[in-house]
Structure 1
């Protein structure tokens, strides 16, 4: 069995190509890959991730409904049902964001050079 923080060959374990036990330039341990195990922070971050995915799917479904309405694929009853369902889902998302202390902008993950995950034209 190898040392903790090492792979099977005894090399430093890596995350994303960076050694997890390599000291920073000033000799102190790098905090850039440190795992925050504070239960409240973990709950908030996990909630943020789940709500972000739900919001992404909600927006995709909403766009699909709008597209289908424009093409005339839906009956008046289906349009009414979808509108009510999407409205309730948006209200539920607002309540969940408030419960976890998140704003809608907190759900819009920054993907670096790709921009943000969710459109900002809302």
Structure 2
């Protein structure tokens, strides 16, 4: 007597939807980081802790990042407001004051005040734990004090 194994269930993945979804996730993270870093740069500029050359380099870098995000968004048929809407939609509450707060505002506030984060992340596939990350991190903005840097000889 031969026992037949059941046929594996098939997963029907639409590769275009999968690519667009992955692109949107990556672009949302990049846009979130860009906005947070831009706020920190503005604080440093206002404090006078950056040279005019550093201010120029930051401005050019942020413009290039913004252009690249727009270019990749166009390639995947994503509109810029989809990325912004995703960021704002992450905080859901009935409190009208909190409802006006974006994720960028929350992270920016944490950076300004400083925060210690701790936690454990377990990555599993098919309900099998494969990786555990135990994390302890301090998150804070770099103070806006002027430092003289020594150039490394190459």
RMSD (Å), alpha carbons: 2.1
Out of 75, 82, 88, which is 2:64 matched to? 88
- Listed as ranges, the gaps of 5+ residues in structure 1 are 1-34
1:1-122 mapped onto 2 (5 Å cutoff) = 37-107=13-83, 108-109=85-86, 110-111=89-90, 112-113=92-93, 115=99, 117=103
Structure having the higher strand fraction is 2
- Listed as ranges, the gaps of 5+ residues in structure 2 are 1-10, 106-154
Distance in 2 of aligned mates of 1:85 and 1:92: 11
The answer to whether the 8 A contact 1:47-1:100 is kept is yes
Q: Which has the higher contact order (CA 8 A, sep 6+)?
A: 2
How big is the shift at 1:37? 2.3
